[in-house]
């Protein structure tokens, strides 16, 4: 079986961390994002006490962010970056950083690290975040003729601060993105055999364009007119590298709408 590689990026200062040490995702061969181009993109500096990891996430309302379970499982707190392009520039116009304690983190109760199933979690911001030209929520998927689309073969955007090449060892300071087609599920399953379920959605990664370490939890977005629909959340790729052309795998958001909405409603 193909060896999975999660797309989180360990902080350079980390030493032995059993579960995440083999993990890997970022945007490789991507374009630089412009201010306001991906206003739903969140950056997450996840703290586990004496070490931290970097992940992405997606703002879906004034209070909530969707990210990966493998980013947040066991976290003590997380610093959420909103409206950011350059995460090293604290004075960047429009950038906000918000500290969220463990009580604001909800990991899917059936997340299974060994198979990376149900790789989804929610973060509730402690205060209402005002939308601006650089901070805005993405839409959840909508039914068309009664069913959620599979999005097969549509072009979609993946973005993040993940490693920008297989040779790189740190996250990118600036936000990057790729625009690639959603791979038909049957084809993706041929690559990944049993590892890919119907609750996952895959992106083609030809020309070395891919998500990579540090992009975990970040958005896969289908744009229609002026609307941005969150169709996936970055989950894993192959440990052979982000640029080898193997499909990148995301959690399929339409499979978790009930779970998401139940948590949102219970906090109103
Ligand atoms: C973190 O701290 C704990 C307890 O102090 C220690 O056992 C562990 O080795 C430390 N981990 C790292 C990665 O430094
Ligand atoms: C995340 O926070 C830790 C602790 O404050 C810091 O050392 C690290 O540089 C931060 N990571 C990034 C990518 O900013
Ligand atoms: C987790 O799995 C159990 C057993 O299959 C199921 O009953 C439960 O509803 C699942 N929980 C969620 C949040 O999906």
216 catalytic residue (yes or no): yes
Is residue 50 assigned to a domain? yes
User: 169: burial class by Cβ within 10 Å (0-12, 13-18, 19+)?
Assistant: exposed
- 149 CB neighbour count, 10 Å cutoff: 16
Looking at the fold, whether 66 and 180 belong to one and the same domain comes out as: no
CB-count burial class (<10 Å; 0-12, 13-18, 19+) for 172: buried
Which residue range is the domain that position 261 belongs to?
A: 11-25+39-137+256-266
Contact predicate 214/191, CB 8 Å: no
Strands 200-203 and 219-224, bridge-based pairing: unpaired
The DSSP string of 58-70 is EE-SSSEEEE-HH
Average pLDDT, the chain: 88
Please give the model's pTM, rounded to 2 decimal places: 0.90
| Same domain flag for 95 and 187 | no
Same domain, 194 and 218: yes
CATH number at residue 221: 2.40.10.10
Write the pLDDT tens digit of every residue in 170-206. Answer: 788 999 999 999 999 999 999 988 899 999 999 998 7
Token pair belonging to 77 = 């707190």
- Same domain, residue pair 104 and 197: no
Protein residue with least CA distance to atom 8, ligand 1: 50
Q: Is the CB of 262 under 6 A from ligand 3?
A: no
Give CA angle at 118 (163, 150), nearest 5°: 85
- For the question of residue 109 being annotated catalytic, the response is no
- Confirm if 161 and 54 have CB atoms less than 8 A apart: yes
246 and 260 assigned to the same domain? no
3-state secondary structure of 195: helix
Ligand lying nearest the CA atom of residue 18: 1
In a domain? residue 1:
no
- Domain count within the chain: 2
Cβ of 148 below 6 Å from ligand 3 = no
**Ligand 1, from 16, 50, 75: best to mutate by most atoms within 8 Å of Cβ?**
50
Q: Is residue 32 part of a domain?
A: no
238 and 262, same domain (yes or no): no
Q: Which of 5, 52, 70, 213 is catalytic?
A: 70
CA distance 138 to 48: 28
Whether the per-residue pLDDT at 211 is higher than 80: the answer is: no
Q: What is the atom index within ligand 1 of the atom nearest the CA of 16?
A: 13
Task: Please tell me whether residue 160 adopts helix, strand or coil conformation.
Answer: strand
Summarised one tens digit per residue, pLDDT across range 143-167 is: 999 999 999 999 999 999 987 777 7
Pick from 34, 35, 6: nearest CA to 218: 6
């Amino acid at each position: 079986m193909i060896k999975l590689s999660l797309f989180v990026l360990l902080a350079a200062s980390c030493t032995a961390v059993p579960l995440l040490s083999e993990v890997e995702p970022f945007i490789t061969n991507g374009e630089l994002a412009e201010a306001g181009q991906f206003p739903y993109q969140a950056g997450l500096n996840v703290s586990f006490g004496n070490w931290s990891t970097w992940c992405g996430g997606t703002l879906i309302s004034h209070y909530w962010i969707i990210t990966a379970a493998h980013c947040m499982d066991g976290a003590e707190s997380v610093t959420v970056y909103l409206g950011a392009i350059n995460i090293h520039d604290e004075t960047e116009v429009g950038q906000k950083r918000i500290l969220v304690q463990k009580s604001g983190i909800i990991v899917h109760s059936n997340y299974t690290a060994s198979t990376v199933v149900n790789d989804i979690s929610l973060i509730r911001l402690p205060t209402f975040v005002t939308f601006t030209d650089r901070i805005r929520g993405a839409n959840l998927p909508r039914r068309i003729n009664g069913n959620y689309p599979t999005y097969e073969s549509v072009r979609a955007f993946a973005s993040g601060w993940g490693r920008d090449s297989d040779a790189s060892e740190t996250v990118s300071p600036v936000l990057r993105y790729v625009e690639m087609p959603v791979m038909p599920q049957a084809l993706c399953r041929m690559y990944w055999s049993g590892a890919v379920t119907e609750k996952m959605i895959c992106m083609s990664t030809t020309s070395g364009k891919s998500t990579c370490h540090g992009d975990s939890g970040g958005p896969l977005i289908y744009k229609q007119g002026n609307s941005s629909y969150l169709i996936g959340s970055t989950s894993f790729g192959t440990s052979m590298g982000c640029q080898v052309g193997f499909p990148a795998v995301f959690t399929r958001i339409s499979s978790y709408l009930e779970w998401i909405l139940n948590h949102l409603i219970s906090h109103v």
